A = this chain, B = another copy of it.
């Protein structure tokens, strides 16, 4: 068994700063999460934003201001236990760091939001192949023309990830992911990329393009990168997020996120 399969080993390597790569495939079976940290004075509005946009921002955990040990991973420290963070000032990325150090503030409220890795493992278990994994690449992610529902100062476009799915199995992929509302849930769009403002499917805004075969449809799921697009649109004075793909690994099992 590789260290990559062991939750505690993975966490130790990340905490010590000896691993700062992406977390796809690490500690399989455990749910991973997007991180957003905001000062207390804007945290209520952001939590309302999440409540109004649950597909893009499904809340797994919220920590009161100043707390850094998640309820869904009590032994962890959100200041050190992600491989890579981004620090934003007025919507612009100021720094990318391996631990928060002096960027941490006691008035920060931390949000952990569900991640598509959870439903990917479920799709793979059902025999779907994930093209970006086959190609050892990074999943293509697109900004859309779908506006999130605003809340207080927060607004911006919904961001989606795309996976090619065999046309005859689209319904099945919908049903499998619909049972994971805390991991983005059912797709928000199937086929017709232009209808959501994607001009060129081969030019994603994040990640790398993947091949779509003749018997496949492009299927779009709401994506945790939405919170970064919202930062770019809404210009919050101070905000910390994970770096895309560099997630927090929780104590929750993927299986625990399944709903009836």
Q: Which residues of A contact B (CB under 8 A)?
A: 40, 43-45, 47-48, 51-52, 59, 61-62, 64, 71, 109, 149, 151-152, 175, 178-179, 181, 186, 259-260
CA separation between A205 and B219, bound complex, in Å? Answer: 50
Residues of B within 8 A of A59 (CB): 51
CA separation between A259 and B55, bound complex, in Å? Answer: 13
Expressed in whole angstroms, the minimum distance between the Cβ of A40 and any Cβ of chain B is 7
B40 touches A186 (CB 8 A): no
B48 touches A64 (CB 8 A): yes
Residues of B within 8 A of A151 (CB): 64
A179 touches B47 (CB 8 A): no
Expressed in whole angstroms, the minimum distance between the Cβ of A174 and any Cβ of chain B is 9
Q: Given A259-B259, A260-B179, do A62 and B71 touch, yes or no (CB 8 Å)?
A: no
Expressed in whole angstroms, the minimum distance between the Cβ of A130 and any Cβ of chain B is 22
CA separation between A178 and B181, bound complex, in Å? Answer: 14
Residues of B within 8 A of A186 (CB): 260
Residues of B within 8 A of A179 (CB): 260
Q: Which one, B47, B181, B259, contacts A44 given CB within 8 A?
A: B47
Residues of B within 8 A of A43 (CB): 44
B62 touches A178 (CB 8 A): no
**Chain B residue nearest in CB terms to A42:** B44
CA separation between A126 and B50, bound complex, in Å? Answer: 34
A40 touches B51 (CB 8 A): no
CA separation between A175 and B181, bound complex, in Å? Answer: 17
Residues of B within 8 A of A45 (CB): 64
The 26 listed contacts between A and B (C-beta, < 8 Å) are A40-B44, A43-B44, A44-B44, A44-B47, A44-B109, A45-B64, A47-B47, A47-B48, A47-B51, A47-B62, A48-B64, A51-B59, A51-B61, A51-B62, A52-B62, A52-B71, A64-B151, A64-B152, A71-B149, A175-B260, A178-B259, A178-B260, A179-B260, A181-B259, A186-B260, A259-B259
